[in-house]
Protein backbone atom coordinates (compact mmCIF):
# COMPACT_ATOMS: atom_id res chain seq x y z
CA UNK A 1 0.00 0.00 0.00
CA UNK A 2 1.17 3.47 -0.75
CA UNK A 3 1.61 6.26 1.75
CA UNK A 4 -1.68 7.61 3.08
CA UNK A 5 -2.53 10.94 1.49
CA UNK A 6 -3.01 14.00 3.65
CA UNK A 7 -6.51 15.32 4.15
CA UNK A 8 -6.77 19.06 3.59
CA UNK A 9 -8.65 21.06 6.21
CA UNK A 10 -11.31 23.60 5.28
CA UNK A 11 -10.67 27.33 5.50
CA UNK A 12 -13.83 28.23 7.42
CA UNK A 13 -15.80 31.34 6.48
CA UNK A 14 -18.18 31.98 9.36
CA UNK A 15 -17.93 35.77 9.53
CA UNK A 16 -17.30 37.98 12.57
CA UNK A 17 -20.86 38.03 13.94
CA UNK A 18 -21.19 34.23 13.83
CA UNK A 19 -17.82 33.79 15.54
CA UNK A 20 -18.84 36.30 18.20
CA UNK A 21 -21.80 34.10 19.06
CA UNK A 22 -19.67 30.93 18.95
CA UNK A 23 -17.15 32.32 21.45
CA UNK A 24 -19.58 34.16 23.72
CA UNK A 25 -19.11 31.79 26.68
CA UNK A 26 -15.59 30.69 25.78
CA UNK A 27 -12.84 30.98 28.40
CA UNK A 28 -9.99 29.03 26.82
CA UNK A 29 -8.79 28.87 23.20
CA UNK A 30 -6.34 26.29 21.84
CA UNK A 31 -4.14 26.92 18.77
CA UNK A 32 -3.04 23.97 16.62
CA UNK A 33 0.25 24.87 14.91
CA UNK A 34 0.96 27.65 17.40
CA UNK A 35 4.67 27.85 16.51
CA UNK A 36 4.02 29.55 13.17
CA UNK A 37 4.56 33.29 12.77
CA UNK A 38 0.90 34.19 12.29
CA UNK A 39 -0.53 31.67 14.76
CA UNK A 40 1.86 32.76 17.50
CA UNK A 41 0.76 36.35 17.01
CA UNK A 42 -2.92 35.40 17.28
CA UNK A 43 -2.17 33.43 20.45
CA UNK A 44 -0.48 36.46 22.01
CA UNK A 45 -3.36 38.80 21.14
CA UNK A 46 -5.88 36.30 22.52
CA UNK A 47 -3.88 36.00 25.75
CA UNK A 48 -3.89 39.78 26.10
CA UNK A 49 -7.70 39.75 25.78
CA UNK A 50 -7.94 37.66 28.94
CA UNK A 51 -8.49 34.13 27.60
CA UNK A 52 -6.70 31.04 28.79
CA UNK A 53 -4.48 30.18 25.80
CA UNK A 54 -2.68 26.99 24.86
CA UNK A 55 -1.26 25.50 21.73
CA UNK A 56 0.71 22.71 20.13
CA UNK A 57 3.27 22.24 17.39
CA UNK A 58 5.24 19.34 15.97
CA UNK A 59 8.50 20.35 17.60
CA UNK A 60 9.83 22.85 20.10
CA UNK A 61 11.33 26.05 18.73
CA UNK A 62 12.47 29.50 19.78
CA UNK A 63 8.95 30.70 19.03
CA UNK A 64 7.24 28.10 21.26
CA UNK A 65 9.73 28.87 24.04
CA UNK A 66 8.90 32.58 23.78
CA UNK A 67 5.18 31.81 23.91
CA UNK A 68 5.66 29.72 27.05
CA UNK A 69 7.48 32.65 28.65
CA UNK A 70 4.40 34.77 27.88
CA UNK A 71 2.21 32.42 29.92
CA UNK A 72 0.83 30.34 27.04
CA UNK A 73 0.55 26.59 27.67
CA UNK A 74 2.68 24.83 25.04
CA UNK A 75 2.65 21.17 23.98
CA UNK A 76 5.19 19.49 21.70
CA UNK A 77 3.43 17.01 19.46
CA UNK A 78 -0.32 16.55 19.08
CA UNK A 79 -2.70 14.68 21.40
CA UNK A 80 -6.44 14.77 22.05
CA UNK A 81 -5.74 15.17 25.77
CA UNK A 82 -4.24 18.61 25.15
CA UNK A 83 -7.73 20.07 24.66
CA UNK A 84 -8.80 19.47 28.26
CA UNK A 85 -9.80 22.83 29.74
CA UNK A 86 -10.27 24.57 26.39
CA UNK A 87 -13.58 25.66 24.84
CA UNK A 88 -12.57 26.46 21.24
CA UNK A 89 -9.87 25.63 18.69
CA UNK A 90 -8.09 27.71 16.06
CA UNK A 91 -6.04 25.81 13.48
CA UNK A 92 -3.72 26.54 10.60
CA UNK A 93 -4.71 24.94 7.30
CA UNK A 94 -1.14 23.64 7.05
CA UNK A 95 -2.06 20.79 9.43
CA UNK A 96 -3.55 17.50 8.29
CA UNK A 97 -7.20 16.52 8.75
CA UNK A 98 -6.01 13.47 10.71
CA UNK A 99 -4.56 15.72 13.41
CA UNK A 100 -5.77 14.21 16.72
CA UNK A 101 -6.51 17.60 18.30
CA UNK A 102 -8.59 18.71 15.35
CA UNK A 103 -10.50 15.42 15.32
CA UNK A 104 -11.07 15.59 19.09
CA UNK A 105 -12.38 19.15 18.85
CA UNK A 106 -14.91 18.03 16.24
CA UNK A 107 -15.93 15.06 18.41
CA UNK A 108 -16.45 17.32 21.44
CA UNK A 109 -18.52 19.77 19.41
CA UNK A 110 -16.19 22.69 20.16
CA UNK A 111 -16.10 25.81 17.95
CA UNK A 112 -13.36 25.09 15.40
CA UNK A 113 -12.06 28.03 13.37
CA UNK A 114 -9.42 28.45 10.68
CA UNK A 115 -6.61 30.92 11.30
CA UNK A 116 -7.82 33.43 8.73
CA UNK A 117 -11.42 33.30 9.93
CA UNK A 118 -10.33 33.98 13.51
CA UNK A 119 -8.06 36.82 12.39
CA UNK A 120 -10.95 38.38 10.49
CA UNK A 121 -13.02 38.22 13.66
CA UNK A 122 -10.29 39.92 15.75
CA UNK A 123 -9.75 42.80 13.37
CA UNK A 124 -13.46 43.55 12.89
CA UNK A 125 -13.42 45.44 16.21
CA UNK A 126 -11.06 48.12 14.87
CA UNK A 127 -12.29 51.13 12.86
CA UNK A 128 -9.05 51.56 10.87
CA UNK A 129 -7.68 48.35 9.34
CA UNK A 130 -4.78 48.32 6.87
CA UNK A 131 -4.32 45.04 4.99
CA UNK A 132 -1.03 44.67 3.09
CA UNK A 133 -1.26 42.18 0.24
CA UNK A 134 0.82 41.21 -2.77
CA UNK A 135 2.94 38.33 -3.96
CA UNK A 136 6.20 39.87 -2.74
CA UNK A 137 7.30 42.36 -0.11
CA UNK A 138 4.30 42.03 2.23
CA UNK A 139 6.31 41.41 5.39
CA UNK A 140 8.81 44.19 4.76
CA UNK A 141 6.11 46.70 3.83
CA UNK A 142 4.05 45.73 6.88
CA UNK A 143 7.09 46.08 9.14
CA UNK A 144 7.86 49.50 7.63
CA UNK A 145 4.29 50.65 8.15
CA UNK A 146 4.40 49.32 11.72
CA UNK A 147 7.38 51.58 12.41
CA UNK A 148 5.53 54.59 11.04
CA UNK A 149 2.31 53.88 12.92
CA UNK A 150 4.28 53.20 16.12
CA UNK A 151 5.84 56.64 15.79
CA UNK A 152 2.41 58.23 15.42
CA UNK A 153 0.27 56.17 17.81
CA UNK A 154 -0.39 52.77 19.34
CA UNK A 155 -1.19 50.29 16.55
CA UNK A 156 -1.92 46.59 16.67
CA UNK A 157 0.26 44.76 14.14
CA UNK A 158 0.29 41.25 12.71
CA UNK A 159 3.21 40.58 10.39
CA UNK A 160 4.43 37.51 8.51
CA UNK A 161 7.93 38.01 9.88
CA UNK A 162 9.38 38.94 13.21
CA UNK A 163 9.43 42.69 13.42
CA UNK A 164 12.56 44.70 14.13
CA UNK A 165 14.20 45.48 17.39
CA UNK A 166 11.30 47.58 18.65
CA UNK A 167 9.00 44.58 19.09
CA UNK A 168 11.04 41.33 19.08
CA UNK A 169 7.89 39.59 17.83
CA UNK A 170 5.72 39.12 14.75
CA UNK A 171 2.96 41.07 16.44
CA UNK A 172 2.40 44.24 18.39
CA UNK A 173 -0.62 44.64 20.64
CA UNK A 174 -1.80 48.22 20.80
CA UNK A 175 -4.78 50.32 21.76
CA UNK A 176 -8.31 49.11 20.86
CA UNK A 177 -8.92 52.48 19.20
CA UNK A 178 -5.65 52.40 17.25
CA UNK A 179 -4.94 51.17 13.72
CA UNK A 180 -5.02 47.42 13.06
CA UNK A 181 -2.23 46.66 10.55
CA UNK A 182 -1.97 43.17 9.14
CA UNK A 183 -0.21 41.18 6.45
CA UNK A 184 -2.85 39.64 4.18
CA UNK A 185 -1.74 36.23 2.90
CA UNK A 186 -3.15 35.20 -0.48
CA UNK A 187 -2.41 31.45 -0.21
CA UNK A 188 -5.64 29.44 -0.50
CA UNK A 189 -7.46 32.80 -0.64
CA UNK A 190 -7.05 33.24 3.11
CA UNK A 191 -7.18 37.03 2.76
CA UNK A 192 -10.78 36.84 1.59
CA UNK A 193 -11.81 36.44 5.23
CA UNK A 194 -10.52 39.95 5.95
CA UNK A 195 -12.32 43.28 5.55
CA UNK A 196 -9.76 46.09 5.61
CA UNK A 197 -10.69 49.74 5.63
CA UNK A 198 -7.63 50.22 3.36
CA UNK A 199 -6.43 47.37 1.13
CA UNK A 200 -2.83 47.66 -0.12
CA UNK A 201 -1.83 45.67 -3.21
CA UNK A 202 1.93 45.73 -3.77
CA UNK A 203 2.31 43.53 -6.85
CA UNK A 204 0.94 40.45 -8.59
CA UNK A 205 2.76 37.52 -10.13
CA UNK A 206 2.65 33.78 -10.55
CA UNK A 207 3.27 31.92 -7.30
CA UNK A 208 1.77 29.19 -5.09
CA UNK A 209 1.35 27.09 -8.19
CA UNK A 210 -0.10 24.25 -6.13
CA UNK A 211 -3.16 26.46 -5.57
CA UNK A 212 -3.12 29.19 -8.21
CA UNK A 213 -3.17 27.75 -11.71
CA UNK A 214 -3.20 30.93 -13.77
CA UNK A 215 -2.69 34.67 -13.57
CA UNK A 216 -6.39 35.07 -14.26
CA UNK A 217 -7.16 33.21 -11.03
CA UNK A 218 -4.68 35.39 -9.11
CA UNK A 219 -6.18 38.59 -10.52
CA UNK A 220 -9.67 37.43 -9.51
CA UNK A 221 -8.52 36.69 -5.96
CA UNK A 222 -6.86 40.06 -5.47
CA UNK A 223 -9.81 41.83 -7.03
CA UNK A 224 -12.07 40.05 -4.52
CA UNK A 225 -9.76 41.21 -1.71
CA UNK A 226 -9.95 44.78 -2.99
CA UNK A 227 -13.74 44.58 -3.04
CA UNK A 228 -13.70 43.79 0.68
CA UNK A 229 -12.28 47.21 1.50
CA UNK A 230 -14.86 49.69 2.68
CA UNK A 231 -15.73 52.73 0.64
CA UNK A 232 -14.07 55.28 2.94
CA UNK A 233 -10.50 53.92 2.76
CA UNK A 234 -10.53 52.06 -0.53
CA UNK A 235 -7.56 50.44 -2.25
CA UNK A 236 -3.92 51.49 -2.61
CA UNK A 237 -2.33 49.75 -5.60
CA UNK A 238 0.92 49.73 -7.56
CA UNK A 239 0.42 51.67 -10.80
CA UNK A 240 3.71 50.31 -12.20
CA UNK A 241 2.42 46.74 -12.01
CA UNK A 242 0.42 45.86 -15.11
CA UNK A 243 -1.20 42.86 -13.43
CA UNK A 244 -2.41 45.08 -10.57
CA UNK A 245 -3.90 47.51 -13.05
CA UNK A 246 -5.60 44.71 -14.92
CA UNK A 247 -7.06 43.29 -11.70
CA UNK A 248 -8.49 46.71 -10.81
CA UNK A 249 -10.07 47.47 -14.19
CA UNK A 250 -13.65 48.67 -13.73
CA UNK A 251 -13.35 48.77 -9.93
CA UNK A 252 -16.14 50.96 -8.60
CA UNK A 253 -14.60 51.82 -5.23
CA UNK A 254 -12.04 54.43 -4.24
CA UNK A 255 -8.57 53.73 -5.71
CA UNK A 256 -5.30 55.33 -4.59
CA UNK A 257 -2.07 54.61 -6.45
CA UNK A 258 1.69 54.62 -5.93
CA UNK A 259 4.47 54.28 -8.50
CA UNK A 260 8.08 55.03 -9.39
CA UNK A 261 7.51 55.34 -13.15
CA UNK A 262 3.84 55.68 -14.03
CA UNK A 263 1.72 58.71 -13.12
CA UNK A 264 0.25 58.09 -9.66
CA UNK A 265 -1.15 59.80 -6.58
CA UNK A 266 1.96 58.93 -4.52
CA UNK A 267 5.42 58.86 -6.08
CA UNK A 268 9.08 58.59 -5.09
CA UNK A 269 11.21 61.30 -6.67
CA UNK A 270 14.97 62.00 -6.62
CA UNK A 271 15.83 58.46 -5.54
CA UNK A 272 19.40 58.07 -4.25
CA UNK A 273 21.17 54.76 -3.53
CA UNK A 274 24.37 54.95 -1.50
CA UNK A 275 26.21 52.11 0.32
CA UNK A 276 23.11 50.19 1.28
CA UNK A 277 21.08 53.26 2.21
CA UNK A 278 18.28 54.73 0.12
CA UNK A 279 16.55 58.11 0.15
CA UNK A 280 13.78 59.72 -1.90
CA UNK A 281 11.22 62.51 -1.91
CA UNK A 282 7.78 61.28 -0.89
CA UNK A 283 5.33 63.15 -3.11
CA UNK A 284 1.57 63.35 -3.55
CA UNK A 285 0.27 64.61 -6.88
CA UNK A 286 3.78 65.92 -7.53
CA UNK A 287 4.02 67.97 -4.32
CA UNK A 288 6.82 66.97 -1.92
CA UNK A 289 5.56 65.84 1.48
CA UNK A 290 8.92 64.88 3.03
CA UNK A 291 12.33 63.34 2.36
CA UNK A 292 12.47 59.66 3.32
CA UNK A 293 15.66 57.76 4.19
CA UNK A 294 15.77 53.99 4.76
CA UNK A 295 18.64 51.74 5.79
CA UNK A 296 17.81 49.01 3.28
CA UNK A 297 18.79 48.77 -0.35
CA UNK A 298 17.15 48.01 -3.68
CA UNK A 299 14.38 49.39 -5.84
CA UNK A 300 11.96 46.82 -4.41
CA UNK A 301 12.40 48.42 -0.99
CA UNK A 302 11.63 51.85 -2.45
CA UNK A 303 8.29 50.40 -3.56
CA UNK A 304 7.77 48.89 -0.09
CA UNK A 305 8.61 52.15 1.69
CA UNK A 306 6.50 54.22 -0.70
CA UNK A 307 3.48 51.97 -0.18
CA UNK A 308 3.97 52.01 3.61
CA UNK A 309 4.26 55.81 3.62
CA UNK A 310 1.19 56.23 1.41
CA UNK A 311 -0.90 53.86 3.56
CA UNK A 312 0.11 55.70 6.72
CA UNK A 313 -0.67 59.07 5.14
CA UNK A 314 -4.13 57.84 4.11
CA UNK A 315 -4.97 56.96 7.72
CA UNK A 316 -3.90 60.38 8.95
CA UNK A 317 -0.21 60.16 9.84
CA UNK A 318 1.74 63.41 9.40
CA UNK A 319 4.62 63.36 6.84
CA UNK A 320 7.20 64.24 9.52
CA UNK A 321 6.13 61.16 11.52
CA UNK A 322 6.29 59.06 8.36
CA UNK A 323 9.89 60.15 7.70
CA UNK A 324 10.94 59.57 11.31
CA UNK A 325 9.31 56.13 11.49
CA UNK A 326 11.06 54.93 8.32
CA UNK A 327 14.40 56.41 9.38
CA UNK A 328 14.34 54.06 12.38
CA UNK A 329 13.57 50.99 10.28
CA UNK A 330 16.40 48.44 10.13
CA UNK A 331 14.61 45.59 8.39
CA UNK A 332 12.35 42.71 9.38
CA UNK A 333 13.85 39.45 10.55
CA UNK A 334 15.24 37.30 7.70
CA UNK A 335 14.81 40.17 5.22
CA UNK A 336 18.44 40.97 4.37
CA UNK A 337 19.32 40.60 8.03
CA UNK A 338 23.05 40.87 8.76
CA UNK A 339 24.35 37.83 10.67
CA UNK A 340 28.07 38.55 10.93
CA UNK A 341 31.30 38.19 8.95
CA UNK A 342 33.49 35.30 7.81
CA UNK A 343 36.89 35.48 6.09
CA UNK A 344 36.28 39.21 5.70
CA UNK A 345 32.97 38.62 3.88
CA UNK A 346 29.66 39.98 5.18
CA UNK A 347 26.98 37.33 5.80
CA UNK A 348 23.25 38.06 5.43
CA UNK A 349 20.05 36.06 5.87
CA UNK A 350 17.08 36.50 3.54
CA UNK A 351 13.66 34.90 3.20
CA UNK A 352 13.39 35.26 -0.58
CA UNK A 353 11.98 32.16 -2.29
CA UNK A 354 10.33 33.36 -5.48
CA UNK A 355 12.31 34.30 -8.61
CA UNK A 356 11.08 37.90 -8.52
CA UNK A 357 12.14 38.25 -4.87
CA UNK A 358 15.51 36.62 -5.49
CA UNK A 359 16.23 38.81 -8.50
CA UNK A 360 15.25 41.99 -6.67
CA UNK A 361 17.34 41.10 -3.61
CA UNK A 362 20.44 40.20 -5.65
CA UNK A 363 20.13 43.35 -7.77
CA UNK A 364 19.78 45.40 -4.59
CA UNK A 365 22.87 43.70 -3.19
CA UNK A 366 24.81 44.91 -6.23
CA UNK A 367 24.12 48.47 -5.13
CA UNK A 368 25.88 47.88 -1.80
CA UNK A 369 29.34 48.03 -3.38
CA UNK A 370 30.72 44.56 -2.63
CA UNK A 371 33.33 42.83 -4.80
CA UNK A 372 31.18 39.74 -5.37
CA UNK A 373 27.68 38.61 -4.41
CA UNK A 374 27.47 34.95 -3.35
CA UNK A 375 24.14 33.24 -2.75
CA UNK A 376 23.38 30.01 -0.90
CA UNK A 377 19.83 29.11 -1.90
CA UNK A 378 17.31 26.53 -0.64
CA UNK A 379 14.30 26.20 -3.01
CA UNK A 380 10.92 26.15 -1.27
CA UNK A 381 8.50 23.41 -2.39
CA UNK A 382 8.77 21.10 -5.37
CA UNK A 383 5.77 22.62 -7.14
CA UNK A 384 7.20 26.13 -7.11
CA UNK A 385 10.65 24.92 -8.23
CA UNK A 386 9.24 22.85 -11.09
CA UNK A 387 6.67 25.42 -12.19
CA UNK A 388 9.10 28.34 -12.23
CA UNK A 389 12.36 26.54 -13.09
CA UNK A 390 13.32 28.83 -15.96
CA UNK A 391 12.63 31.91 -13.85
CA UNK A 392 14.77 30.56 -10.98
CA UNK A 393 17.69 29.98 -13.35
CA UNK A 394 17.47 33.58 -14.57
CA UNK A 395 17.08 35.08 -11.09
CA UNK A 396 19.93 33.15 -9.46
CA UNK A 397 22.11 34.07 -12.41
CA UNK A 398 22.30 37.58 -10.88
CA UNK A 399 24.75 36.20 -8.29
CA UNK A 400 28.45 35.69 -8.95
CA UNK A 401 28.38 32.31 -7.24
CA UNK A 402 25.46 30.07 -6.23
CA UNK A 403 25.47 27.24 -3.66
CA UNK A 404 22.39 25.04 -4.05
CA UNK A 405 20.76 23.44 -0.99
CA UNK A 406 18.28 20.58 -1.29
CA UNK A 407 14.64 21.58 -1.78
CA UNK A 408 12.53 22.28 1.32
CA UNK A 409 9.47 20.08 0.82
CA UNK A 410 7.05 21.86 3.20
CA UNK A 411 3.66 20.27 2.62
CA UNK A 412 4.56 18.40 -0.59
CA UNK A 413 5.81 15.11 -2.02
CA UNK A 414 8.22 15.23 -4.97
CA UNK A 415 5.89 14.08 -7.72
CA UNK A 416 7.54 16.56 -10.09
CA UNK A 417 10.94 14.86 -10.49
CA UNK A 418 12.74 18.13 -9.74
CA UNK A 419 15.88 18.63 -7.64
CA UNK A 420 18.35 21.29 -6.58
CA UNK A 421 21.05 19.44 -8.49
CA UNK A 422 19.03 19.93 -11.69
CA UNK A 423 18.65 23.61 -10.93
CA UNK A 424 22.41 23.95 -10.37
CA UNK A 425 23.08 22.24 -13.72
CA UNK A 426 20.73 24.67 -15.48
CA UNK A 427 22.44 27.69 -13.92
CA UNK A 428 25.82 26.48 -15.15
CA UNK A 429 29.42 26.94 -14.02
CA UNK A 430 28.71 29.60 -11.39
CA UNK A 431 26.46 27.16 -9.48
CA UNK A 432 27.64 24.45 -7.11
CA UNK A 433 25.30 21.76 -5.81
CA UNK A 434 25.90 21.29 -2.07
CA UNK A 435 22.77 19.51 -0.86
CA UNK A 436 23.16 19.45 2.92
CA UNK A 437 23.58 22.36 5.32
CA UNK A 438 27.00 21.07 6.36
CA UNK A 439 28.24 20.95 2.76
CA UNK A 440 26.79 24.41 2.11
CA UNK A 441 28.52 25.89 5.15
CA UNK A 442 31.78 24.24 4.08
CA UNK A 443 31.44 25.71 0.57
CA UNK A 444 30.86 29.21 1.97
CA UNK A 445 33.89 28.91 4.26
CA UNK A 446 35.98 27.73 1.31
CA UNK A 447 34.97 30.40 -1.20
CA UNK A 448 33.99 33.55 0.73
CA UNK A 449 36.70 36.25 0.73
CA UNK A 450 37.17 39.80 1.95
CA UNK A 451 34.96 42.19 0.01
CA UNK A 452 32.30 39.56 -0.70
CA UNK A 453 28.64 39.64 0.29
CA UNK A 454 27.14 36.23 1.10
CA UNK A 455 23.34 35.85 1.22
CA UNK A 456 21.86 32.66 2.68
CA UNK A 457 18.40 32.63 1.14
CA UNK A 458 15.19 30.62 1.35
CA UNK A 459 11.85 30.31 3.17
CA UNK A 460 12.52 26.91 4.74
CA UNK A 461 15.07 25.95 7.39
CA UNK A 462 18.20 27.06 5.51
CA UNK A 463 18.99 29.42 8.41
CA UNK A 464 20.47 26.34 10.11
CA UNK A 465 23.53 26.95 7.94
CA UNK A 466 24.49 29.79 10.28
CA UNK A 467 24.90 27.36 13.20
CA UNK A 468 27.55 25.59 11.14
CA UNK A 469 29.38 28.55 9.65
CA UNK A 470 31.07 29.70 12.83
CA UNK A 471 31.33 26.33 14.62
Residue 420 banded pLDDT, cuts 50, 70, 90? very high
Q: What are the residue ranges of helices labelled H in 236-298?
A: 242-247
Return the CATH superfamily for domain 126-327.
Mur-like, catalytic domain (3.40.1190.10)
| All CATH 3.40.50.720 domain ranges in the chain, comma separated | 16-116
Please provide the average confidence, as pLDDT, over all residues in the chain.
90
Torsion sign (Cα): 307, 310, 315, 316: positive
For 299, the 3-state DSSP assignment is helix
CATH of domain 337-469: 3.90.190.20
Rounded to the nearest 5°, which phi and psi values hold at 251? -65, 130
Residue 166 banded pLDDT, cuts 50, 70, 90? very low
Task: Tell me what pLDDT residue 450 has.
Answer: 95
Task: Tell me what pLDDT residue 165 has.
Answer: 46
Interhelix angle 319-327/299-314, nearest 10 degrees: 140
Residue 422 banded pLDDT, cuts 50, 70, 90? very high
pLDDT single digits (tens) 186-200? 878 888 888 999 999
CATH of domain 16-116: 3.40.50.720
Q: Is the predicted pLDDT of residue 371 greater than 50, yes or no?
A: yes
| All CATH 3.90.190.20 domain ranges in the chain, comma separated | 337-469
Task: Tell me what pLDDT residue 431 has.
Answer: 96
Q: Is the predicted pLDDT of residue 2 greater than 50, yes or no?
A: no
| All CATH 3.40.1190.10 domain ranges in the chain, comma separated | 126-327
Strand 180-183 relative to strand 156-158: parallel, antiparallel, unpaired?
parallel
Q: What is the mean pLDDT of residues 163-187?
A: 78
Compare 238 and 190 and report the one with higher pLDDT.
Answer: 238
- Please tell me the least confidently modeled range out of 194-203, 208-217, 307-316: 208-217
Amino acid sequence: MGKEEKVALPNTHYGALTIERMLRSCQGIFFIGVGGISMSALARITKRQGYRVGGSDRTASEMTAALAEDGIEIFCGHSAAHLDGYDAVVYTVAIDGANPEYREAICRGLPVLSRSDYLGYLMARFSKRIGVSGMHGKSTCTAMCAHILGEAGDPTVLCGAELCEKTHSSCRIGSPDGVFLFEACEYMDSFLDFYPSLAVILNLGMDHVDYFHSMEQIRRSFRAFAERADGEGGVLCNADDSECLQAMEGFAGRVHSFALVAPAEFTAERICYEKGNTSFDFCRYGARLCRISISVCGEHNVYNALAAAAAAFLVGVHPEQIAKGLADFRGAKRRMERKGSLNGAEIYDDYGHHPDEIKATLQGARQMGYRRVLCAYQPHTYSRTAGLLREFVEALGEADRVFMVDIYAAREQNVYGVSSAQLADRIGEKARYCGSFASTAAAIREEAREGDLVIVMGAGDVFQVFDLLWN
